[in-house]
Amino acid sequence: MKLLYFAWVRTKTGTGEETVSPPDSVCDVADLIEWLKLRGSGAADAFSDPSLIRVAVNQDYVELDHPVIAGDEIAFFPPVTGG
């Protein structure tokens, strides 16, 4: 699956985009966040408070219990501030 990071989530993880293949135990967004936190200090910092993170799967907003599967495009970012 393809992961995208924006704004301060991007600066904390240190990358804007990466492709990952998590284990089968990762079934939803919350699982994915916990798995990512174990992979590095940048991700652990970025996801230290999941309530600050918004998530989109295939460019639609989703909640933490939304399922994730191989091939998904999953984006993590702070609450939006456009306009």
Chain residues binding other proteins by CB under 8 A are: 4, 6-8, 56, 59-61, 75, 77-83
Which C-beta is closer to other proteins: that of 35 or that of 77? 77
Which C-beta is closer to other proteins: that of 25 or that of 62? 62
Shortest approach of other proteins to residue 20 CB, angstroms? 18
* Residue 59 zone, left/alpha/beta (φ > 0; ψ -120 to 50; rest): left
Shortest approach of other proteins to residue 35 CB, angstroms? 22
Say how far apart CA 32 and CA 66 lie, in whole Å. 10
Shortest approach of other proteins to residue 80 CB, angstroms? 5
Instruction: Say if CB 31 and CB 80 are below 8 A apart.
Output: no
Say how far apart CA 61 and CA 23 lie, in whole Å. 23
